[in-house]
Amino acid sequence: MELISQNGFPTKRTQDVVDNKIFLIIDMGIVSRAKASEYKAKYWLVKNKNRASQKYIMDPVNFVGKNVKLGKNVKIWNFAYVGENTIIGDNVVIGSLAHVDYNVKIGNNVRIEGLVYVAPLTEIGNDVFIGPAAVITNDPYPPSKRLIGVKIEDGAVIGGRAVIKAGVKIGKRAVVGMGAVVTKDVPDETVVIGVPAKPVYDRKEYDRKKANWENFR
């Protein structure tokens, strides 16, 4: 795993899980990656023959619960939360202040932007993008004793600040526009927008618009 810091230091960043917490480590260049057993102080100074180097262990900036399974190349930004028993695949990025709750399943090549809330029992497929501050719920009549997760299938795109109702399925390569409120299943290859979200065109048209935007000069 790697922790990405936004502190402006031109330094190498690493992260380790210690007592279920992830600590931000700022390595000034000559101190190698420390072992977890060496984390006994929040600050220490290391000297060698030519120069001094500082290595700080800051207060916990991330939290990873018990029994979390992490794939390869998982990157978690500052102040994110991952609940216990969650499974995260390879090449996943979780943005700052995101809250990925317990018993969540995340596939490979997923990008979850900052401030996203992912409720317990959510299942996210491969190659999914979830935009900033999107909310994925699990309780249609809160607070109730019966929860049901959202399923987001492979290749789906969820726009910023979208809200997904508990129990809804977002189909393969479906797109949910920013700010949409999704109360019903979204079919494969379908783009929905609005409150409540309604279909407007298909994924082929979305990809065409995206390509035109990217190539515009």
Q: Tens of pLDDT along 79-99? A: 999 999 999 999 999 999 999
The pLDDT value given to residue 78: 86
**The model's pTM:** 0.77
Q: Where in the chain is the domain with CATH 2.160.10.10?
A: 67-215
pLDDT tens-digit readout, 163-208:
999 999 999 999 999 999 999 999 999 999 999 999 999 999 999 9
- Tell me: pLDDT of 38 over 90: no
- Tell me which fold the domain 67-215 belongs to: UDP N-Acetylglucosamine Acyltransferase; domain 1 (2.160.10)
Total residues found in the chain within this entry: 217
The pLDDT value given to residue 1: 53
Cα(85)–Cα(106) distance, integer angstroms: 12
Cα(81)–Cα(62) distance, integer angstroms: 6
- The residues that bridge with 193 in the sheet, in sequence order, are 198
